[in-house]
Chain A
């Protein structure tokens, strides 16, 4: 366990950025999102939730896969280079880290997505505890402990001090590279607080405080009963509730694009005039051309598209992945849906008592 004073964080970022790319929550035009660090960046570690999740760092919203060029009768295909440089994503939250576990199930299963795998291999995650969880959070429902984020490095910000604990080999290596800026936490030493407690005890108290807050959150007691079980699949799919629930949906992609676990993408060609760039970009099951095939579309109404999103997260995914839900309770959709619809309302309307 190490520590660093809050005012020295910019030096820490500077040091990390000397050898690696560094992404962290940055405020741009009033909104905080993960972005590359530079000296002018307005870093905002206090922000609980970035608008978009940090999944872009591993699975960018748009990326070129390969480029085709035609010269005479010769066609060349150049695949995009895979990520080779190490990068650090600093300030991910426990829910976002859990979101990556969901993405891993998709992209690291056979056939492995090499673009994603390369980013996972070179990405180092520094995850931060959520010191002030908010009413839209419900990570505990999905077994996430926001007081104890597990990643390459876990950090806590307590009273102007950032506590730093490496959890993996990658994390140990990162710790070593910035060791000169960190000071070790002397585990036994009482630091002269009124209560006479050590810093480690202080940190434990902070974690308890966080867990206490989580218990008070309005969605913490949400029941997932009935979801994620194959035997309930038809019943949920055929429920008349979908017809009532979907009405306010604007069919925009906000929920899918702020979500840390939505993983669907489209692949398209861009004609550059002298070749083709084949790219992929996030798709949304809310869109009318989602999973469009030669014969047309197998979901022809917004109700069906709306149902797909929640059935995927709460039924199909867990049924196919040993019970792992593909929602992590980050609550971004709760905050951002323009029609105030969200997964919590769906779980409540169709859950438990059904």
Chain B
């Protein structure tokens, strides 16, 4: 981690960048926050560890509007989002100096708590350079341990890989964290009857509190004014109504990001109610792969998206009936 700070200081000092976008140490051992650093002194607060799950790509929409270049630290999976944002002209490549950082999987404190660990005072073993598979957790209720893997975000178990899709330089090693099939959960749902599917999603989506965290964190949701916020139209919807969340909000959002979602998993990470929102997006990704050929949004900045280009080989609408 120190290497990142040192390099950031150099880039600030030689004028390559005027600010740094990274993560700032929190006041608990698991709550660092995304932050801008404007000076070498401020960088003393910089942290990069297992709890830095936040994808900083979307913050670069604002970063691109600022004067001068911003140094941004991106994990391998974050770079897909950044590429996609370039493709959609939402970030300015020339305003970013990208350091691709290594990643050994990101942690979710909820997964630690789900193992019955409460009253956390300190967590060790979450550092990026540490070569341990055990998290040692000091709590008010005694010392506990859990494995790094058991505390990892779902998305890290289906990691897209160690490569950065875009960067100016790379610092640090990444680890293979993939130990599950990306589409296994989708296949399970596909095997359900329509009634079972509906019941499953209804149960999950009725937990939604309409906080918009999934939308606001999503790098693919970058409309300046969301149709659901617009008070110019009847589509605005602030009320927490199950029928809306189950049949409209999340479904429409999934359709809107289809073909553009990189599967960064931020929606599921931030949901306060633990709704597995990534399942919708991943179902679309799987369908696109099957109907239009393998496609990974954000793997590059030039290719046309499967749903935004036309070819004579495109699936016909009737495919819906055939596949039912």
Interface residues of A (CB under 8 A from B): 28-31, 33, 48, 51-52, 61-62, 132-136, 213, 216-218, 247-248, 250-254, 256-258, 266, 268, 271, 279, 281-284, 287-289, 292, 334, 336, 338-341, 344-345, 348
Contact = CB atoms under 8 A, between A and B. Distances in A.
Interface string B256-272: 00000000000001101
A132 B139 CA distance: 11
B33 A248 contact: yes
B231 A292 contact: yes
Contacts of B217: 250, 252, 338
Interface of B: 26-28, 31-36, 54, 118-121, 140-141, 203-204, 206-207, 209-213, 215-217, 229, 231, 234, 238-241, 269-270, 272-275
Contacts of B234: 271
Given A252-B216, A271-B234, A292-B231, A247 B272 contact: no
B229 A135 contact: no
Contacts of B120: 134-135
22 contacts: A62-B240, A132-B141, A133-B119, A135-B28, A135-B119, A135-B120, A213-B119, A213-B140, A218-B27, A218-B121, A247-B34, A248-B54, A253-B209, A253-B210, A254-B270, A258-B272, A268-B239, A271-B234, A288-B229, A338-B217, A338-B272, A345-B26
A31 B35 CA distance: 30
Nearest to B110: A335
Contacts, number: 127
B187 to A, nearest CB: 20
Contacts of B274: 29-31
B196 to A, nearest CB: 14
A338 B270 contact: yes
A48 B213 contact: no
B119 A51 contact: no
A135 B121 contact: yes
A132 B140 CA distance: 9
A305 B272 CA distance: 21
Given A254-B211, A258-B272, A268 B141 contact: no
6 smallest A-B Cβ distances: which pairs?
A: A338-B270, A281-B239, A340-B31, A252-B213, A62-B239, A250-B216
Nearest to A284: B211
Contact of B28 (A218, A250, A253, A266): A218
A135 B34 contact: no
B105 to A, nearest CB: 18
Contacts of A268: 238-239
A252 B275 CA distance: 16
Contacts of B206: 28
Contacts of A251: 212, 216
B269 A338 contact: yes
Nearest to B36: A247
A258 B240 CA distance: 13
Contacts of B204: 29
Nearest to A279: B239
Nearest to B26: A340
B149 to A, nearest CB: 19
A250 to B, nearest CB: 4
B209 A61 contact: yes
A252 B212 contact: yes
Contacts of A292: 231
Contacts of A288: 229
Contact of B213 (A33, A135, A338): A338
Contacts of A33: 207
Given A283-B238, A344-B27, A289 B121 contact: no
A248 B35 contact: yes
B119 to A, nearest CB: 5
Nearest to A212: B140
Given A62-B239, A62-B240, A268-B239, A248 B34 contact: yes
B213 A250 contact: yes
A209 B216 CA distance: 42
B118 A132 contact: yes
B33 A340 contact: yes
A217 to B, nearest CB: 7
A129 to B, nearest CB: 16
A56 to B, nearest CB: 9
A345 B27 contact: yes
A62 B211 CA distance: 13
Q: Which of A52, A282, A339 has most chain B Cβ within 10 Å?
A: A339
A348 B119 contact: no
